[in-house]
Amino acid sequence: MDFLYTYETLKLEFPLVGPEEAKFVILGVPFDGTTSFKPGARFGPTLIRHATLNLESYILDYDVDIAELPIADIGDVAVVAGDPRKTADRVRETVEELKRVNPGAIPILLGGEHSQTLGAVEALKPASYVVFDAHLDLRESYEDNPYNHACVARRIGELGVREAMFGIRSGTREEVEYAEREGIAWVHARDYDFDAFVELVKPLPEPVYLSVDIDAFDLSLVPSTGTPEAGGLKFWDVVEAVEWLVENKRIAGFDIMEVAGSGLGDVTALTAAKLLFHFIGAMGKRRP
């Protein structure tokens, strides 16, 4: 099947199925047009796919071989250079097209900057948005653009989607006050633990869209990202939360965003690829 806005790319190395029969559908969004500090997230989708070549498809934690699961990869979205809204429109239209041909598919976005999560959320209309991020992303506008990566959670909340954020350690006073006014729950990275995650996420309505801005992890794991911040989360802390979420909530979609880098085998892409495999593996382990 051909999508209006996608083109073929490097693929994962195990047998992939078509988007019509897949359970998981990977879509790259190589966009970094509003990156404000470190560029390179446009290379994220390719770097993550390449990093997966280094990993075993068998997830020994779960006794699941994801190569046996129905996964499709529909390539990357053709971005509109410098325009986060028009590119997110293409993401939205691509995900809408996918859901028309395969309503049961779970889209997995590989970014590319966080602004593009909006397109997937607009298409999927989840009841809740659970996000791991160093940043609140609740700015009204940043660098004269309301669709800047620093505004994505505000745009999503304006759609009426409930939000819970984890790993936060950066934001403005206005964003903190906005979160307070709007009842947006967030946990500072220094206060994060599994119990705090379950306590906030358990009452959220389903389905849930799970977004991981890779800068939620500690800087040692993700040196190549758009707006790096020290003092982040540990890898297995996030995986443990993902496992609980997958087991206890219906998932509308998933993404791993803000993976930048300039070379193959980049540490940040390896972290993202491992997380990707654990998400798919945990979904594969879940009772039908």
- Residues near ligand AG3 (CB under 6 A) are 36, 135, 137, 142, 149-150, 227
> Do 242 and 281 form a contact (C-beta atoms < 8 A)?
no
Task: Report the DSSP pairing between strands 64-65 and 58-59.
Answer: antiparallel
Q: In angstroms, give the least distance from the CB of 73 to ligand AG3.
A: 27
Judged by CB under 5 A, the chain residues 55 through 114 that form the site for Mn ion are 114
Closer residue to Mn ion (CB): 13 or 191 = 191
Closer residue to ligand AG3 (CB): 94 or 227 = 227
Q: Which does 57 bind (CB under 5 to 8 A by kind): Mn ion, ligand AG3, none?
A: none
255 is in an annotated binding site: no
What single string gives the DSSP state of each residue in 98-126? HHHH-TT-EEEEEES-GGGHHHHHHHH--
Among 213, 218, 243, 255, the residue binding Mn ion under the rule CB under 5 A is 213
User: Cα–Cα distances in Å, from 103 out to 99, 123, 158, 276?
Assistant: 4, 12, 25, 21
213 is in an annotated binding site: yes
Closer residue to Mn ion (CB): 74 or 212 = 212
Q: Which does 36 bind (CB under 5 to 8 A by kind): ligand AG3, Mn ion, none?
A: ligand AG3
List the strands of the sheet with 185-188, edge to edge.
6-7, 71-77, 24-29, 106-111, 251-257, 208-213, 128-132, 162-168, 185-188
Closer residue to Mn ion (CB): 92 or 114 = 114
Q: Which does 38 bind (CB under 5 to 8 A by kind): Mn ion, ligand AG3, none?
A: none
193 is in an annotated binding site: no
Closer residue to Mn ion (CB): 3 or 197 = 197
137 is in an annotated binding site: yes
Among 32, 76, 137, 237, the residue binding Mn ion under the rule CB under 5 A is 137
What single string gives the DSSP state of each residue in 134-201? SB----S-BTTBTTSGGGHHHHHHTTT-EEEEEEE-B--HHHHHHHHHHT-EEEEGGG--HHHHHHHH
> Do 281 and 62 form a contact (C-beta atoms < 8 A)?
yes
Residue nearest to ligand AG3 (CB): 135
CB atoms within 10 A of CB 182: 12
The residue to which tokens 């934001």 are assigned: 171
Closer residue to ligand AG3 (CB): 49 or 149 = 149
Annotated binding site for Mn(2+): 114, 133, 135, 137, 213, 215
Residues that bind Mn ion (CB under 5 A): 114, 133-135, 137, 213, 215
Annotated binding site: 114, 133, 135, 137, 213, 215
